[in-house]
Amino acid sequence: MRYILCVGDSLTYGARDEYHRSYPAELSRLYWEREEEPVFCVNHGISGETSSQLLHRVYQNSQSCPQAQVALVLIGTNDTFVSQPSDIYQDNLRQIVQLLSEDRRHVGLGLLPPLIGPGLLSYPKDGQEQLEAFNEIISRTASQYGCFLADFTGMDKYIIDTAHFSHAGYVKMAEIWYSLMKEEGVSL
């Protein structure tokens, strides 16, 4: 069996998926259906978590699956409602990527999907502007550290409550990660 380490917030966890699934579960399914390859995507997503909180636990997450040669990171949406300064977010992401890169051949970063509609009251009015600034940081970090970059910015139609996806949205996320890893020649 091969493994992929998936770290992040509720978008990794699979919050609001009507079947209680997630993109890691769907990515594992894609590998089996398309390649008959048993791949388990270890889901270390925690709903409501910020990049600072992920930084506190990423070492333990990394150590939980040392055989995983690929790590996928999607974090930052919750940083908007704590009004995380961009320089703090950037340093958190840098440290997360550096740690994960130490023991893995490949690290993938995901661009944050948009915030849509009134939905959750905890997201600030300028949340989308903050997300766009964070996405610029994610792009620069990916380039600087040689990470592959998944683009989730155009997934508006799958958002069901301001920030979270329906099951179809998590399936689409898995397809984006899968296709990108194939294009980039990422080996598990």
Distance, CA of 88 to CA of 111 (rounded, Å): 17
Kindly state whether residue 49 falls inside one of the protein's structural domains: yes
Task: Assign residue 137 the CATH number of its domain.
Answer: 3.40.50.1110
Short-list 3, 133, 9, CA closest to 73: 9
pLDDT(124) > 80: no
3-state secondary structure of 144: helix
More confident residue, 84 or 30: 30
Q: What is the dihedral of CA 120, 160, 165, 50, to 10 degrees?
A: -10
* Tens of pLDDT, residues 48-100: 999 999 999 999 999 999 999 999 999 999 998 888 899 999 999 999 999 99
pLDDT band per the 50, 70, 90 thresholds, residue 117? low
Mean pLDDT of 100-124: 83
Q: Estimate the crossing angle of helix 86-103 against helix 127-145, to 10 degrees.
A: 40
Sequence-ordered strand ranges (E) for the chain: 2-8, 39-45, 70-74, 106-111, 148-151
pLDDT(118) > 60: no
Q: Look at the chain and report how many structural domains it folds into.
A: 1
Kindly state whether residue 188 falls inside one of the protein's structural domains: no
Kindly state whether residue 90 falls inside one of the protein's structural domains: yes
Give the domain extent around 22.
Answer: 2-183
pLDDT(167) > 90: yes
The CA-based angle 103-105-110, given to 5 degrees, is 100
> If 0-12 CB within 10 Å is exposed, 13-18 middle and 19+ buried, where does residue 165 land?
buried
pLDDT(157) > 70: yes
